[in-house]
Each structure stands twice: as structure tokens, then as C-alpha cells.
Amino acid sequence: MRKILFISLAAVLLTACETNKAVTFVTSTNVGVDVDANTQNVNIGFARIEGVVGPVYATGEIPPVFADIQSNAKVFGAQVSQFYATGEAAVIATSQKPPEPMKQIELKGKRKTMFFGTATVTGFKAGFAGSAPRSLTLGYKRQEFSRIPIITNETDNSDVYGSVLARIELGSDATEFKKTGMRTAQLFATGYAAENLAPLARGTVIAETEKAANFIGQYADDANSQRLNAALQQDTDGTFRAELNGWIKANALNVSVTSFVNASQFAQARQRAVLQLLGN
């Protein structure tokens, strides 16, 4: 059934975006029981679909989108945390680097219509056709959809892809949102507002990622470890440690300098770091 759903979603996506002049990004999540007589669809448990249709450029670049979900997958007492973002907001939310200062809003130039929407059900919902039930949802169900046209910047001929952001926290005490004491919290924003809110989600996303990335390594004492340790010992002002830390992060390795220098897992990466930072 999920295969049929996915094929249907793909058909909708391709229909909605018959050219590469827009990016269509969809997620659909169900935790619990979801029955729909119209689509002849029955879901029990956890079901999630994510899809995006948009252009790929000659450089290999793809317009950025990001979706994240954390759930205990329980029908009753569901805890769900979802995040959805496009454009610069997606980049900010997933980046380890702090966002740039707020940009000046410039709503000018050629206009096109965009659409961004979410739909959420928690608890119980039934839809009727006459006296007969046609759909039933028990638990948690959420759909997120955006179709954002790509606008070409006339000054440098580069394409621009706008930002939208949505976040929901349900029955969770895991994030900043829950400091409000609310059991359900939602965010919905577009444009610069979405980009300004992205760091809030960024902290959560990174915290979740880092929590899942506790590191355990085996001590190693190879020639590159010794060279890096020697350089660190001579580094009285911390310059080399900062440089090496930057290299580690730039190479998407989520560990400290100490683990990088002394763990056997990073032997090959250490070789590259030594060549690039210390030379032969």
C-alpha cells in the first residue's frame, strides 16, 4: 500500500512541477491509524513519505530542502518533533556555522505565485459522506507541501529559491519550544521570517544530531598522530588547534581535535590533514 501511495505522490509531484521552473517539496507523516476510502488507503503504525521535484544545475547543485522527524511512534501519547524548510532556511538549519546577520528585505522585481501549506491532525478525526464514514484518523497525521517558483536574478543570471519553514512539537519536552509549557507548538513562516527562525530549529537539529553522535575511539600512536601532537604542543596561542579544528569541521568530522589526533578511526583523514596543514 505504501508503494501505491509513493507512486501516487510521485505522480502528483511531477504533475505539479511539469517543468524545472519550480521546486515542489512534500512530506506526509502518519503515526497511528489512517483509513481513507477515497484513496483506498489504510495505514497502521508509522508511515512517512518525503519527496522533492526540482531542477539540477550544470554544477550538480540542487535547491536545498530539509525535513527532519523524531517520533516515539506511539498511537497514544505520541511524541513528535518535525521540521521542514526550504532555501536559505534549510541551509541555516543544517549548518554548523552561525547564520549571517539579517538581510534587508527586498520585495521587488518580477513576481510569481508560490504555495506553502501544512495540515495536522492529532487525536481522532472522521470524515463522512452522508451518514457513511469515508475517512478516519486516530493518532497523529501531518502533511507539508510547498511549491516555490525559481526566479532568475536579472543582474547575475543566478536562480533564487525562496525560504519557507514549518516546525511542530507535539507532546515532547525535548526542545526550546517546550519551555513555554505548551503540549503542542507550531511554527510556520516564509521568506526572511523563515530564515530568521531557522537558527532556533538549527540548535535543536544539531543537538539531536550530536546527541546521536557520541564518539568512542581506539587510541592510536602513528606517525601522523605524533606530528600533529608535536605541533599542538608547540602551539602556545591555540592558533594551530583552531586551524586543525576548522579542517576537521570542514571535512564533516564531528569530533574534537583530541579524538581526531589520537583515534585509530581517523588514520587516513589525519594523513590528509598533515599533508594540507603541515606539508611534507
Partner 1 sequence: MRTETLEGIPTEAQAIAIEESFRQDGATSTSRTQDADGTWTVTAIFE
Among 47, 186, 256, 278, binds partner 1 (CB under 8 A): 256
Counting every residue written for the chain, the total comes to 280
Q: Cα–Cα distance between 246 and 194 in angstroms, integer?
A: 28
Q: How many angstroms separate the Cα of 280 from the Cα of each of 198, 232, 250?
A: 42, 17, 21
Q: Is 164 in the site for partner 1 (CB under 8 A)?
A: no
E strands in 130-183: 132-149, 151-152, 159-160, 164-170
Stretch that binds partner 1, among 26-34, 150-158, 249-257, 268-276 (CB under 8 A): 249-257
Among 203, 215, 222, 267, binds partner 1 (CB under 8 A): 215
Q: Is 232 in the site for partner 1 (CB under 8 A)?
A: yes
Output 170 or 273, the one with its CB closest to partner 1: 273
CB of residue 244 vs partner 1: minimum separation in angstroms?
10
Q: Is 211 in the site for partner 1 (CB under 8 A)?
A: yes
Q: Which residues pair with 68 in a beta bridge?
A: 83
Stretch that binds partner 1, among 44-52, 154-162, 183-191, 261-269 (CB under 8 A): 261-269
Cell numbers standing for residue 253: 568530522
DSSP state letter for 104? P
Query: Is the alpha carbon torsion for 59, 96, 90, 154 positive or negative?
Result: negative
- Cβ 248 vs Cβ 257: under 8 Å: yes
Stretch that binds partner 1, among 7-15, 59-67, 124-132, 215-223 (CB under 8 A): 215-223
Where along the sequence are the contacts to partner 1 (CB under 8 A)? 210-211, 213-219, 221, 232, 238, 241, 245, 255-259, 261-263
